[in-house]
Homo-oligomer: A and B are copies of this chain.
Amino acid sequence: MEKLIAKYRKEGFKLTPQRLAILKFLEGNTSHPSAMDIYSEVKDAYPTLSFATVYNTLQALRNKGEILEITINPQKTHYDPNSKPHHHIICIKCKKIGDIFKDYSKVLQLPYDVVSEFKPLGNHIDFYGICMRCRKKERRYKL
B92 in contact with A121 (CB, 8 Å): yes
Within 8 A of B (CB), among A80-117: 89, 91-92, 98, 100-102, 104, 107-108, 110-111, 114, 117
A123 in contact with B128 (CB, 8 Å): yes
Q: How far is the CA of A57 from the CA of B117 in the complex (A)?
A: 33
Interface size on A, residues (CB 8 A): 36
Pairs A-B, 9 closest by C-beta atoms: A118-B129, A107-B107, A120-B129, A71-B71, A74-B77, A122-B128, A123-B127, A71-B74, A125-B125
| 22 CB-based A-B contacts, threshold 8 Å | A69-B74, A71-B71, A71-B72, A71-B74, A89-B120, A92-B121, A98-B118, A102-B111, A104-B108, A107-B107, A114-B127, A117-B131, A117-B132, A118-B131, A119-B129, A120-B128, A120-B129, A121-B129, A123-B126, A124-B126, A125-B126, A126-B126
